[in-house]
Every structure is written in C-alpha cells, then in structure tokens.
Amino acid sequence: MDLLSNQEIPIGFSMALAKDTTAMNAFSSMPKEKRTQVVEQSRNIHSKEEMEQFVNSFTQNRTY
C-alpha cells in the first residue's frame, strides 16, 4: 500500500489504524497532502491511548 510515496509510517500509528478499519478507510481516502500532514502529526504522539484517540478522530472529523 503506497499511501505516502515510501514515507515511513510510525509503527504505533499503523498499529492503531490496523485496529480500526473505519479509520483506516478514512485515512486512505484523504488527499495525499492531508495523509502526509496526519502522519507528521502522529510522530508527536507518544502514548497508545493518545494514538487511538487520534486515529478514532478520523471517523468523527471527515472535513478534508
């Protein structure tokens, strides 16, 4: 799956996405620029709970 042109996705972010297929689909449907922004935001998250909240927000805030 080449979502970001070979940009490495943080493991915690990818694991949180894998647990939430709805959020994964929302992430996959974002424009490339937005996906890149989201991945950069995820690099600043350092707890599992916070990452899960971040990923869950994709299904609540579909304003991209």
How does pLDDT run across 38-50, given as a tens digit for each residue? 999 999 999 999 9
Please give the pLDDT value at position 1. 44
Kindly state whether residue 16 falls inside one of the protein's structural domains: yes
pLDDT value at 60 more than 80: yes
Report pTM. Answer: 0.79
How does pLDDT run across 1-40, given as a tens digit for each residue? 455 555 688 999 999 999 999 999 999 999 999 999 999 9
Domain holding 39, by residue range, is 11-49
Cα angle 49-15-26, degrees, rounded to a multiple of 5:
90
Q: How many domains does the chain fold into?
A: 1
Kindly state whether residue 56 falls inside one of the protein's structural domains: no
Answer for the pair 28, 3: CB distance below 8 angstroms, yes or no: yes
Kindly state whether residue 4 falls inside one of the protein's structural domains: no
Kindly state whether residue 63 falls inside one of the protein's structural domains: no
Kindly state whether residue 31 falls inside one of the protein's structural domains: yes
Kindly state whether residue 61 falls inside one of the protein's structural domains: no
